[in-house]
């Protein structure tokens, strides 16, 4: 009978294998890092929260920016702040659930600046509540923004990026809820798990084109996602939608600006995972321990 070894105790072996894989990956894609000065960054959900912080962080690096959102006053405000930093800023009202609108966003960005070097598929919403109470409208809304919004970004921008042939980077905003499921967030969890899987595949597919990929997986961040219902279309309203926020995975709350700094560092280092909170380590370890236990139990 094999001895069951906790994941943490075999972590030396695990990390040795991981380091080898990273070294191999590095030989293929090291040097893809994008120099931002004079380049162009597009951010969906760019009017507030993490998106706004990303716009301003890129602007401070000297990148021209395209702010995409549904919040027109918010877009105008952050574009003005970016312009005050000495870069060009374009605003584009965009519903990421509509492929045609994201395609129009891409066309406008490439027409205005000639190329897009950083794309942040960042728009996101959350619906609270247990899965057994989720309505079809909840699924349509959350998957439409969180998952289809990312898919539409990939569809609209990646072929153009490949055609340009310049180093580029894509950042997809997921969540720690895309790595560890949290009670009361089933619809949201589902959307974010899908974004993680999409990103893990995309980084492999785009290696030959010098296009890096990062997936952002934060815990608590000081944003307005708790008030996502304000942006839900009338046709997809759920009058019984819960507004109580689950706290199982929240941890401490970070500022959007600190998260934007981490994203910039990941772009420069061409890192796939942007895991913002140290508190994520133990839940991730427990998850892999359960997976290991399942494998070892079958050997008994």
Catalytic residue among 188, 193, 209, 273: 188
**Long-range contacts formed by 76-80: CB under 8 A, 24+ apart:** 77/47, 78/46, 78/47, 78/48, 78/52, 79/55
Report residue 85: phi and psi, to 5°: -90, 0
- The residues that bridge with 172 in the sheet, in sequence order, are 121, 215
The pLDDT profile of the chain, 300 residues, written as one tens digit per residue, is 444 444 443 333 333 334 333 333 333 344 456 789 999 999 999 999 999 999 999 999 999 999 999 999 999 999 999 999 999 999 999 999 999 999 999 999 999 999 999 999 999 998 888 899 999 999 999 999 999 999 999 999 999 999 999 999 999 999 988 899 988 899 999 999 999 999 999 999 999 999 999 999 988 666 665 655 667 556 657 755 555 454 444 567 788 998 999 999 999 999 999 998 778 888 899 998 999 999 888 887
- Counting every residue, how long is the chain? 300
Rg (CA), the chain: 20
Residue 188 is among the residues annotated as catalytic for this protein: yes
Q: Sheet of 64-69: strands edge to edge? A: 89-93, 64-69, 40-44, 118-121, 168-173, 211-217, 273-275
Instruction: Provide the strand spans (E) within 59-153.
Output: 64-69, 89-93, 118-121
What is the reported pLDDT for 192? 96
Q: What are the angstrom distances between the C-alpha of 242 and each of 128, 131, 229, 236?
A: 5, 12, 10, 14
Domains and CATH numbers, the chain: 31-298 (3.40.50.720)
Contact 11, 282 (CB under 8 A): no
What are 271-289's pLDDT values in tens digits?
999 998 778 888 899 998 9
Six-digit token string for 298? 């079958």
Eight-class DSSP state of 129: B
Q: What is the pLDDT of residue 282?
A: 87
Block residue for tokens 């399942």: 294
């Amino acid at each position: 009978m094999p001895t069951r070894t906790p994941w943490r105790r075999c972590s030396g072996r695990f990390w040795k294998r991981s380091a080898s894989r990273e070294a191999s990956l590095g030989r293929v894609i090291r040097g893809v890092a994008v120099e931002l000065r004079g380049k162009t960054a597009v951010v969906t959900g760019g009017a507030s929260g993490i998106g706004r912080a990303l716009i301003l962080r890129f602007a401070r690096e000297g990148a021209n920016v395209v702010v995409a959102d549904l919040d027109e006053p918010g877009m105008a405000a952050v574009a003005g702040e970016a312009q005050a930093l000495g870069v060009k800023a374009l605003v584009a009202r965009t519903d990421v659930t509509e492929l045609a609108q994201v395609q129009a966003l891409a066309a406008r960005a490439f027409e205005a600046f000639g190329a897009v070097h950083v794309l942040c598929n960042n728009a996101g919403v959350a619906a609270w509540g247990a899965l057994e109470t989720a309505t079809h409208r909840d699924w349509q809304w959350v998957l439409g923004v969180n998952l289809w919004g990312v898919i539409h970004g990939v569809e609209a921008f990646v072929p153009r990026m490949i055609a340009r042939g310049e180093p580029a980077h894509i950042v997809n905003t997921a969540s720690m809820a895309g790595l560890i499921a949290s009670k009361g967030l089933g619809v949201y969890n589902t959307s974010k798990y899908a974004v993680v899987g999409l990103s893990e595949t995309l980084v492999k597919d785009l290696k030959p084109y010098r296009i890096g990929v990062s997936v952002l997986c934060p815990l608590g961040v000081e944003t307005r996602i708790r008030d996502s219902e304000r942006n839900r279309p009338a046709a997809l309203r759920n009058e019984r939608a819960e507004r109580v926020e689950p706290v199982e995975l929240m941890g401490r709350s970070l500022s959007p600006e600190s998260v934007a700094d981490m994203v910039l560092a990941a772009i420069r280092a061409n890192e796939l995972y942007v895991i913002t909170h140290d508190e994520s380590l133990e839940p991730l370890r427990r998850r892999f321990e359960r997976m290991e236990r399942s494998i070892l139990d079958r050997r008994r």
